[in-house]
Structure 1
């Protein structure tokens, strides 16, 4: 006869179906990529949009008070997604520390600030998805700021994933140049293959509805 005390057995972990409707905050929904993400995720989930000058709610990712106020108003949430953030592009020989800092304050610290605040309003098992870009691994002339910021975002998610409590997850989506953005950025991305925003949106679905954390989903 077995001596196993069945009363001490741990219950099997509950499997949460992430494809079920979630309440998702999307920051940066007015951009080309943000619109694609909203269309794709909005077919299954409740999307709350926010931005500096557009969306249902206003938020300035450069301001602690603004980010914290928005999340207090909207929480609790199941997921937070950011497709926002500005960068500085310009020749390294003329670049100033202030210009370089503009990208750090906007796309890097802005998204980090959002993630740090979001962890406190997400439900157990919730997710954070940030946006980087191909320049973290494929640098271009005049793109030193973009390369540094994108690489830092990927490193932040990798490290944050091992500390987030309550089953929270964090990932980064890192796309190549969008097909829709070629008229604006194509000349800077010589020889790089573009991809449609709708295809990149699939990576956000993978982050929100999947089970991975600390990952960078590269879309090329």
Structure 2
């Protein structure tokens, strides 16, 4: 398969690529690195990305920013970061890809642990994660041409613990290898409409 991985340079993206590149051709995409560049929050940029890449069989998105701040200091503008950069960016990859991805292709998005196991300052990310779960479950029943869609929801990765562990008190880091396997399950398996939890 020819697989587009958006956010390939991050910890989650690297875990997905490490597993999938053993068996497939990977096209890496990022905002500032990779084979191609894109701001996925702009659907026209996503359409241009797909045109420049050509044929592809799967899209994996491991990218998406959110604002981490106390709820009392959140504004509409700071809260929109997660909705625009984490939710709509991934939704755009699906909407723009429906007509151009190969028959029986798949979209695999990324959420995270915070909508089911919250932390202080994580309300924006938690909201984004919950929105992605709802989108995937609903979109799956309307996918044309045998297409599939899932979302991987990992805890904090072991390779990320040194940087983010102080925010995730009491959370057990998850294996990067296990995270990679979750993306393989979604891309190479038959699941659709599922939230694939890695904890």
What is the TM-score when the length of structure 2 is the normalising length? 0.98
* 1:83 is the counterpart of 2:62: yes
Question: After the TM superposition, which of the residue ranges 57-66 and 160-169 deviates more from structure 2?
Answer: 57-66
* 1:63 is the counterpart of 2:42: yes
Q: How much has 1:212 moved relative to structure 2? A: 1.0
Q: How much has 1:164 moved relative to structure 2? A: 0.6
- Distance in 2 separating the partners of 1:36 and 1:134: 17
Q: How much has 1:62 moved relative to structure 2? A: 1.5
**Match for 1:99 among 41, 65, 78?**
78
Question: After the TM superposition, which of the residue ranges 84-93 and 115-124 deviates more from structure 2?
Answer: 115-124
Q: How much has 1:103 moved relative to structure 2? A: 1.0
Q: How much has 1:39 moved relative to structure 2? A: 1.4
3-state DSSP class of the match of 2:141? Answer: coil
Residue 189 of structure 2 corresponds to 210
* 1:32 is the counterpart of 2:11: yes
Q: Which runs of 5+ in 1 are unaligned?
A: 1-21
Structure of greater relative contact order (alpha carbons < 8 Å, 6+ residues apart): 2
3-state DSSP class of the match of 1:162? Answer: helix
Aligned residues: 199
Residue 165 of structure 1 corresponds to 144
**Match for 1:185 among 141, 164, 176?**
164
- Distance in 2 separating the partners of 1:33 and 1:198: 10
* 1:122 is the counterpart of 2:96: no
- Distance in 1 separating the partners of 2:155 and 2:4: 24
| Pair member with larger Rg | 1
Q: Which runs of 4+ in 1 moved over 3 A?
A: none
Q: How much has 1:33 moved relative to structure 2? A: 1.3
- Distance in 1 separating the partners of 2:93 and 2:85: 11
- Distance in 1 separating the partners of 2:11 and 2:97: 24
Q: How much has 1:196 moved relative to structure 2? A: 2.1
Q: Output the aligned Cα RMSD.
A: 0.8
Residue 27 of structure 2 corresponds to 48
